[in-house]
């Protein structure tokens, strides 16, 4: 550091719940004034320690500069933990691999919302409540009809999920715990219906109403693929694969869309509007839009012999092309979600009798070549969750444009759980980042006739 330097010292600081009791301060030394400032170091259950700089500006007159939140913890959270170096993801302490293989999506929803796995009665009540909220107000269907048929389903989702705020705003007091609970159930229950309707509208088919005799994933597949003219059989293998995809997308701590939901909600905005903001953020190809981009990329590559050409392009700094589905801000190891999905891809392709799917073979070969390439090895670029999800979803009959919608469907429970945690937090205050201003210095207005 130029003017200010930092060192840690073994003094006593504050430690949040679950901390290991290892307490200390960091001392900042301002070499301009010669002053020293101690800032507490907080210790979580797992993960790097955190310097608490909330009082930094008040005490020193300095801001910190961290575009993209490279080193900044935006909040304290009990929900999800990622160790990117080791490729670990846990929800409420449970490893994602155990949840993906032994639990089911609604149980994971309960876990994210309530901190613990439910007992039988709690699960029954929760599932019942979700089923009671799956239908949409018929007025909401008119919103779909306002979109062009070729509208991207993510654009439709931003609109219709945001429109929910118009339906429930008056009955929604975000400071009332019961109102918040009902809002969380509404989000979880209505997202599959809204997602399926975005698809049905785009292909000109009638909306299929939710069925309460089906489980969450089967009901979603039914609303997606059934037509009123004939019975539709939901394959249990595909329903299980769908459920697993939803679990794997359920939460991922402070990613761009979740941070967006928290920031939007920090002003005490309507939660459905906040979820719509999260959907907008998710849409980008650097985030949830990557699953659609992966499939576009695989189709574009076309055959195994063209892989080296695209690897070379990904490495070329003058070429904007990136290997989609590779790399992650936090994971510097194999994304544990990608490992589960790789296995799921085999199950789904077997069930559908397409063991020799050329795109899956291409994806596996691309992964093999990239993982041996020095560029990707040096930068610790591994396949992420989006790398295999598109191959599975395509085999299941989902069009590419729906891939990110499915990500949003799974992630909505994470968004609403994080929103609840934020609202309930005693530290809750409006998010208001600072900036390093580099524009014009103060100057005077020049009347138009006097300008050059
Ligand atoms: N292909 C080629 N090079 C890459 C890639 C890639 N997919 N990802 C990162 N790099 C390079 C990057 O050029 C940079 O190289 P250098 O150090 O020589 O300048 C280095 O690796 C670090 O990349 P970065 O952009 O500084 O890393 P980031 O943390 O800002 O970005 C990322 C993370 C996910 C946006 C990026 O890896 C990426 O664009 N990946 C492709 C899109 C993708 O798959 N996104 C889905 C993320 S997982 C789902 C989700 O949670 O949303």
pTM for the structure as a whole: 0.91
Q: Is the pLDDT of residue 12 over 60?
A: no
Q: Mean pLDDT over residues 218-234, rounded?
A: 96
Q: What is the pLDDT of residues 349-392, one digit of tens each?
A: 888 888 788 888 899 899 999 999 999 999 999 998 888 888 89
With a 6 Å cutoff on the Cβ, whether 314 touches ligand 1 is yes
Can 133 be counted among the known catalytic residues? no
Residue with the two structure tokens 């975005």: 198
- Rg over alpha carbons for the chain, rounded to the nearest Å, is 24
With a 6 Å cutoff on the Cβ, whether 376 touches ligand 1 is no
81 — phi, psi (to 5°)? Answer: -130, 135
Round to whole Å and give the CA distance between 202 and 208. Answer: 14
> CA angle, corner 285, sides to 284 and 288, nearest 5?
75
Q: Is 428 exposed, middle or buried (0-12, 13-18, 19+ CB in 10 A)?
A: middle
**Higher-confidence position of 4 and 258:** 258
Q: What is the pLDDT of residues 264-308, one digit of tens each?
A: 999 999 999 999 999 999 999 999 988 889 999 999 999 999 999
Confidence (pLDDT) at 350:
86
Round to whole Å and give the CA distance between 174 and 272. Answer: 11
Q: Which of 55, 62, 46, 47 is nearest to 13 (CA)?
A: 55
Q: Which numbered atom of ligand 1 lies nearest the CA of 282?
A: 52
With a 6 Å cutoff on the Cβ, whether 259 touches ligand 1 is no
Q: What is the pLDDT of residues 390-412, one digit of tens each?
A: 889 998 999 999 999 999 999 99
The torsion of the CA quartet 82, 112, 249, 429, rounded to 10 degrees, works out to -70
Q: Which of 328, 335, 378, 427 is catalytic?
A: 328
């Amino acid at each position: 550091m130029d003017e200010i330097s930092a060192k840690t010292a073994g003094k006593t600081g504050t430690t949040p719940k679950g901390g290991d009791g290892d307490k200390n301060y960091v001392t900042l030394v301002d070499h301009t004034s010669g002053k020293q400032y101690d800032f507490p170091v907080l210790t979580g259950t797992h993960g790097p320690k955190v310097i608490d700089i909330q009082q930094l500006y008040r005490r020193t007159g300095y801001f910190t500069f961290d575009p993209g939140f490279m080193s900044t913890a935006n909040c304290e959270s009990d929900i999800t933990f990622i160790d990117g170096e080791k490729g670990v993801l846990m929800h409420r302490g449970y490893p994602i691999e155990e949840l993906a293989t032994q639990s089911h999506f609604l149980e994971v929803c309960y876990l994210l919302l309530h901190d613990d796995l439910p007992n039988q009665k709690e699960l029954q009540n929760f599932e019942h409540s979700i089923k009671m909220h799956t239908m949409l107000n018929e007025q909401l269907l008119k919103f779909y009809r306002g979109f062009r048929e070729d509208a991207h389903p993510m654009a439709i989702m931003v609109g219709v999920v945001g429109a929910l705020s118009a339906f429930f705003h008056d009955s929604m007091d975000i400071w009332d715990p019961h109102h918040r609970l009902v809002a969380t159930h509404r989000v979880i229950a209505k997202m599959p219906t809204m997602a399926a309707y975005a698809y049905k509208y785009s292909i000109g088919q009638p909306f299929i109403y939710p069925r309460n005799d089906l489980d969450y994933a089967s009901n979603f597949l039914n609303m997606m693929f059934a037509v009123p003219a004939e019975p539709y059989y939901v394959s249990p293998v595909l329903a299980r694969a769908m459920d697993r995809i939803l679990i794997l997308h359920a939460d991922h701590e402070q990613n761009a869309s979740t941070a967006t939901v928290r920031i939007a909600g920090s002003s005490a905005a309507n939660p459905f509007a906040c979820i719509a903001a999260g959907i907008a953020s998710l849409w980008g190809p650097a985030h949830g839009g990557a699953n659609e981009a992966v499939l576009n990329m695989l189709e574009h590559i076309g055959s195994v012999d063209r892989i080296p050409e695209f690897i070379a392009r990904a490495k070329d700094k003058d070429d904007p092309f990136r290997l989609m589905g590779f790399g992650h801000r936090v994971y510097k190891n194999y994304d544990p979600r990608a490992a589960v999905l790789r296995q799921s891809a085999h199950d789904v392709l077997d069930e559908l009798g397409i063991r020799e799917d050329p795109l899956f073979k291409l994806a596996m070969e691309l992964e093999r070549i990239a993982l041996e390439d020095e560029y990707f090895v040096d930068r610790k670029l591994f396949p992420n969750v989006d790398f295999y999800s598109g191959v599975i979803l395509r085999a299941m009959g989902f069009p590419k444009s729906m891939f990110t919608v499915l990500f949003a469907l799974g992630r909505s429970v994470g968004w609403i759980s994080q929103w609840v945690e934020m609202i309930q937090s005693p530290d809750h205050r409006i998010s208001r980042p600072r900036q390093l201003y580099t524009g014009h210095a103060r100057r005077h207005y020049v009347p138009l006739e006097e300008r050059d």
